[in-house]
């Protein structure tokens, strides 16, 4: 029997087994490589001529949609281009959006790419090794297309499930998002492609994203959203941090001295550079607040970090010092990731090998939410199946906006969603990847498999009545730039699902949603799978899970509320209002505060626990076709606390379990915080001992920028979810305080 403790040395849990203390050390004591990069950067910066000193501090949006912008021939059509300095062998920065794959930018570049499933699906894997492979895969494709910077690493926490970019983020917990986000970045940069982490910070909704002002206390912020960034930065060492559109405590995030100079650069000693989001810069003095590079500068009112910055530097020492620092930071990241030594080489892509990575992510990302009377896995001898709705005959849904990825040849289905102007194409609702219908047919060759589009509930119900099994696909499209108004499935799909479930008790609902949705029909269904946005092999992964070729091992990275009034803000802040104000020309100078201190650091499951509210499905939840037994949880104290637990597969199939360790009490009282996790794969009857590092910052409270832990008794429990906790094990820990 191979124990998980042994596996820690090589596989899934390596990061978790070793990294909790390491990450801190790496930021505070730079490795020799980082020091060498710093020395080289200082040397190159000294050799810059005056006319070269603002070259790296601004870039353009490299798509031919804006009049009067000349895109240099060596740029690749994509999100951005920052001119290099050939005299000093400084390469241009050629940037593409790439959180989920090299993006397609509305079809302007015709080459396709491999789409990973949504980040929420990635979050459901709880498997940093797999997510690291995903990051490396995307970066390898980016290099083959001529890019050297990925605008990836989206790790905003889900403070509102209606956020239109929920699918771009890993979840709602800072440890979970920080670990997985760090792994994605690390994977990308292993290919000598620089990655960002974004959007720094509190970019929690798309409604009024350029105008809303997130208000939150420093302590709560550092224990939640900022902790996710802090962990991802330590683990992934991204070359750049992308600041957000919104304001934070009054200041624009990209012009926030507090966020950029104080938290990021002073407290965390971040050595890389801060790039703005596209169109997020409002003045040259954002440089003094810590912004190092103005991205997509033609979208702002002016190129603030070009001539105006050079002029400011010529007359003001503070600006001159800042410009030198901006250059050193950008150069340091270029050298640390090896962009100058490993120029991108355009070449062929092994799409089959890369699709296997996307498939592995979706296999582990699908979450089985309900399985009445073991309806799943389906027998391959089933005689008739009706597949209903969700364009399941064509592909799987994907999210819209800058992360949109398409395969070679374009999307399987592309539905215009309205909108005006040159960016309207960003709005298409697109389906790609493999089609679930074909994959189901392939796995059940003896069955009669029919398809009904699902637009008419009565027609779908009649087809369901005639079949042995009904599999109804329900979709919720999300896109950057807009939130969903509520958590109901759009377009009358709830009526279709309800009618089908009424007609056939063997109804399986497959959800392809960006995030949580309400399920008014839940009790009438036989089974529910959350498949998220499934990526390049989504249909195959869904079918393999339905028929049991793959055991579902995904666990929810977000809480599914039972109703909107369970949320910290039952009404979406400023829905409709800010757009109206902009259209009426009255938004300028107005503030739109959102009070995030309502929940503070108690985001997601912690908010539900605080209020004693029962969610529809809790954070960490997910069923399997097998069963696991947890025994002998042991906690070791000391400066680097850790845990071990023995897990046994008590069922008859191989499967994977996620050991979730929650802190349930501190000397100050009850709490609920994910403190560590590890994923274990076990054959039937096999046992493993999982070793989990405990992240010390999760045990501590932030007070005035310092982590503090009182001496006393801390309680821990292993959870099958945030609401299904095992026996509490306590340990005495000494008082600690650190930054
Ligand atoms: C998004 C970023 C993206 C950038 C470039 C912005 O609108 O917020 O996530 O990287 O565009 O496409």
Residue located via tokens 């089609």: 435
What average pLDDT score do residues 424-444 get?
A: 92
Q: Which atom of ligand 1 is nearest to the CA of 199?
A: 9
* Three-class SS state of 662: strand
Looking at residue 31, what is its pLDDT? 67
Residue with tokens 């994959």: 439
pLDDT above 80: residue 22: no
Say yes or no: do domains 28-337 and 628-738 share a fold.
no
Is residue 283 within 8 Å of 310, Cβ to Cβ? no
Q: Report the range of poorest mean pLDDT among 187-201, 328-342, 583-597.
A: 583-597
Residue nearest atom 5 of ligand 1, based on CA coordinates? 79
* Cα–Cα distance, 198 to 189 (Å, whole number): 15
- Closest atom of ligand 1 to 196 CA is 10
Atom of ligand 1 nearest to the CA of 151: 10
3 state DSSP class of 712: strand
Model pLDDT for residues 469-515, shown as the tens digit of each residue: 999 999 999 999 999 999 999 999 999 999 999 999 999 999 999 99
Euclidean distance between CA atoms 202 and 216, whole angstroms: 9
Burial 673-696, CB ≥16 within 10 A → b, else e: bbbbbbbbbbeeeebbbbbbbbbb
* Residue from 96, 277, 294, 478 to probe ligand 1 pocket by mutation (most atoms less than 8 Å from CB): 277
pLDDT, tens digit, 9 for 90 and up, residues 81-92: 999 999 999 999
The upper half-sphere exposure of residue 82, i.e. CA atoms within 13 Å in the direction of its Cβ, equals 27
- Percentage of the chain with pLDDT > 90? 88
Q: How far is 516 from 475, CA to CA, in rounded Å?
A: 11
Helix (H, G, I), strand (E, B) or coil at 424: helix
Q: Which residues of 564-584 are buried (b: 16+ CB within 10 A; e: fewer)?
A: bebbbbeebbbeeebeebeee
Q: How confident is the model at residue 576 (pLDDT cuts 50, 70, 90)?
A: confident
Tokens 């190159």 belong to which residue? 44
Minimum CA distance residue for ligand 1 atom 6: 278
User: Could you tell me the distance, in angstroms and rounded to a whole number, from the CA of residue 173 to the centre of ligand 1?
Assistant: 23
pTM above 0.85, yes or no: yes
All structural domains of the chain with their residue ranges: 28-337, 352-546, 628-738
Closest C-alpha among 47, 216, 78, 245 to residue 150: 78
- pLDDT in the model for residue 166: 98
Q: What angle do CA 159, 161, 167 make, to 5 degrees?
A: 105
Using the mean position of ligand 1's atoms as its centre, give its distance from the Cα of residue 279 in Å: 9
Tokens in use for 374?
């073991």
How confident is the model at residue 425, as a pLDDT? 64
Query: Poorest-confidence range of 122-131, 447-456, 630-639?
Result: 630-639
* Secondary structure, 3-state, 168-234: HCCCCCHHHHHHHHHHHHHHHHCCCCEEEEEEECCCCCCCCCCCEEEECCHHHHHCCHHHHHHHHHH
Q: Is 670 exposed, middle or buried (0-12, 13-18, 19+ CB in 10 A)?
A: exposed
Rounded to the nearest angstrom, the distance between the alpha carbon of 692 and the centre of ligand 1 is: 35
Atom of ligand 1 at shortest range from CA of 203: 8
Nearest CA to ligand 1 atom 4: 278
pLDDT of residue 454: 97
CB 728 within 8 A of CB 666: no
How far, in Å, from the CA of 86 to the mean position of ligand 1? 27
CA–centroid distance, 245 to ligand 1, in Å, is 10
More confident residue, 619 or 420: 619
Q: Rounded to whole angstroms, how far apart are CA atoms 711 and 722?
A: 25
pLDDT digits (tens, 9 = 90+) for 45-79: 999 999 999 999 999 999 887 777 789 988 999 99
- In this prediction, residues 387-409 reach a mean pLDDT of 95
Structure confidence at residue 33 as a pLDDT band (50, 70, 90): confident
Pocket test for ligand 1, best of 103, 142, 278, 400 (most atoms within 8 A of CB): 278
CA–CA dist 665, 643 (Å, integer): 16
* pLDDT (mean) for 581-608: 94
352-546: CATH architecture: 3-Layer(aba) Sandwich (3.40)
Q: What is residue 155's three-state secondary structure? A: coil
Tokens of 193: 């492609």
Looking only at the bridges linking them, the beta strands covering 273-275 and 240-243 are: parallel
Q: How far apart are CA 99 and CA 115, in angstroms?
A: 10
| Average pLDDT for 391-401 | 97
Q: How far is the CA of 367 from the centre of ligand 1 (A)?
A: 29
Which ligand 1 atom sits closest to the C-alpha of 198?
A: 9
Report phi then psi at 71, rounded to 5.
Answer: -95, 120
361-377 residue pLDDT tens:
999 999 999 999 999 99
What is the band of 27 on the pLDDT scale with cuts at 50, 70, 90?
very low
* Residue to probe by mutation, ligand 1, list 79, 95, 101, 244, most atoms within 8 Å of CB: 79
Q: Are 123 and 172 in contact (CB under 8 A)?
A: no
Q: What is the pLDDT of residue 4?
A: 26
Nearest Cα to Cα of residue 400 among 480, 319, 324: 480
C-alpha 102 to ligand 1 mean position (Å): 13
Name the class of domain 28-337.
Answer: alpha beta
Q: Output the ligand 1 site: residues, CB below 6 A.
A: 79, 97, 151, 198, 277-278, 402
Q: At residue 430, what are phi and psi to the nearest 5 degrees?
A: -125, 145
The interaxial angle of helices 225-236 and 174-189, nearest 10 deg, is 30
CATH superfamily of 628-738: Immunoglobulins (2.60.40.10)
Ligand 1 pocket test, candidate residues 150, 156, 201, 480, most atoms within 8 A of CB: 480
Average pLDDT over residues 625-633: 96
Distance separating alpha carbons of residues 165 and 401, to the nearest angstrom? 9
pLDDT at 30: 53
pLDDT confidence band for 106 (50 / 70 / 90): confident
- Ligand 1 atom nearest the C-alpha of 402 is 12
100 CA → ligand 1 middle, Å? 13
Specify whether the backbone of 551 is left (phi greater than 0), alpha (psi in -120 to 50) or beta: beta
């Amino acid at each position: 029997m191979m124990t998980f403790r042994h596996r820690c040395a090589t596989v899934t849990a390596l990061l978790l087994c070793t990294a909790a203390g390491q990450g801190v050390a790496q930021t505070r004591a730079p490795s020799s490589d980082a020091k060498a990069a710093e020395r080289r950067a200082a040397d190159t910066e000294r050799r810059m001529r005056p006319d070269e000193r603002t070259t790296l501090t601004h870039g353009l949006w490299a798509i031919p949609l804006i009049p009067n912008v000349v895109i240099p021939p060596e740029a690749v059509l994509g999100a951005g281009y920052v001119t290099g300095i050939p005299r000093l062998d400084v390469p241009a920065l050629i940037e593409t959006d790439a959180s989920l794959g090299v993006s397609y930018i509305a079809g302007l570049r015709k080459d396709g790419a491999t789409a990973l499933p949504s980040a929420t699906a990635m979050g459901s894997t709880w498997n940093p090794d797999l997510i690291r492979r995903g990051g490396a895969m995307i970066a390898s494709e980016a290099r083959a297309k001529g890019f050297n910077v990925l605008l990836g690493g989206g790790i905003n926490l889900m403070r509102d499930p209606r956020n239109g970019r929920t699918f771009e983020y890993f979840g709602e917990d800072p440890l979970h998002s920080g670990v997985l986000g760090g792994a994605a970045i690390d994977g990308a940069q292993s290919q000598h492609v620089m990655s960002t982490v974004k959007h720094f910070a509190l970019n929690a909704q798309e409604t009024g994203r350029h105008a809303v002002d997130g208000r939150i206390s420093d302590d709560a912020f550092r224990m939640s959203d900022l902790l996710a960034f802090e962990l991802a930065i330590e683990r992934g060492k991204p070359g750049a941090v992308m600041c957000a559109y919104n304001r934070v405590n009054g200041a624009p995030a990209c012009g926030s001295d507090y966020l950029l100079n104080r938290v990021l650069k002073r407290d965390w000693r971040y050595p890389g550079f801060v790039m703005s989001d596209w169109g997020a810069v409002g003045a040259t003095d954002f440089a003094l607040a810590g912004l190092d590079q103005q991205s997509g500068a033609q979208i702002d009112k002016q190129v603030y970090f070009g001539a105006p910055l050079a002029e400011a530097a010529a007359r003001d020492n503070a600006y001159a010092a800042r410009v030198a620092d901006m250059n050193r930071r950008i150069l340091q990241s270029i050298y640390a990731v090896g962009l100058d030594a490993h120029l991108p080489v355009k070449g062929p892509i092994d799409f089959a090998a890369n699709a296997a990575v996307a498939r592995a992510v979706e296999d582990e990302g699908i979450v089985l939410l309900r399985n009445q009377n073991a309806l799943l896995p389906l027998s391959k001898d089933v005689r008739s199946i009706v597949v209903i709705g969700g364009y399941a005959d064509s592909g799987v849904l994907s999210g819209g906006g800058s992360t949109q990825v398409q395969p070679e040849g374009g999307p399987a289905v592309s539905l215009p969603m309205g909108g005006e102007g040159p960016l309207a194409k960003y709005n298409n609702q697109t389906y790609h990847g493999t089609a679930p219908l074909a994959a189901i047919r392939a796995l059940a060759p003896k069955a009669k498999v029919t398809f009904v589009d699902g637009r008419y509930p009565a027609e779908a119900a009649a087809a369901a009545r005639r079949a042995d099994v009904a599999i109804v696909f329900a979709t919720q499209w999300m896109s950057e730039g807009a939130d969903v108004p509520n958590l109901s499935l759009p377009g009358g799909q709830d009526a279709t699902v309800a009618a089908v479930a009424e007609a056939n008790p063997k109804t399986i609902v497959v959800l392809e949603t960006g995030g949580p949705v309400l399920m008014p029909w839940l009790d009438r269904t036989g089974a529910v799978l959350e498949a998220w946005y499934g990526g390049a092999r989504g249909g195959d992964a869904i079918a393999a899970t339905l028929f049991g070729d793959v055991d579902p091992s995904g666990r929810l990275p977000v809480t599914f509320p039972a109703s909107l009034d369970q949320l910290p803000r039952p009404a979406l802040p400023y829905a409709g209002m800010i757009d109206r104000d902009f259209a009426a020309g009255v938004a300028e100078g107005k503030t739109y505060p959102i009070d995030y201190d309502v929940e503070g650091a108690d985001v997601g499951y912690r908010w539900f626990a605080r209020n004693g509210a029962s969610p529809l499905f809790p954070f960490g939840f997910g069923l399997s076709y097998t069963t696991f037994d947890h025994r002998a949880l042991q906690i070791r104290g000391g400066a680097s606390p850790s845990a071990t637990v023995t897990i046994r597969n008590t069922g008859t199939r191989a499967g994977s379990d996620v050991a979730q360790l929650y802190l349930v009490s501190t000397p100050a009282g009850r709490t609920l915080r994910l403190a560590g996790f590890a994923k274990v794969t076990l054959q039937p009857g096999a046992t493993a001992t999982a070793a989990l590092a405990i992240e010390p910052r999760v045990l501590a409270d932030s007070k005035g920028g310092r982590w503090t832990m009182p001496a006393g008794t801390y309680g821990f429990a292993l959870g099958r979810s945030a609401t299904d906790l095992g026996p509490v094990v306590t340990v005495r820990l000494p008082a600690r305080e650190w930054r």
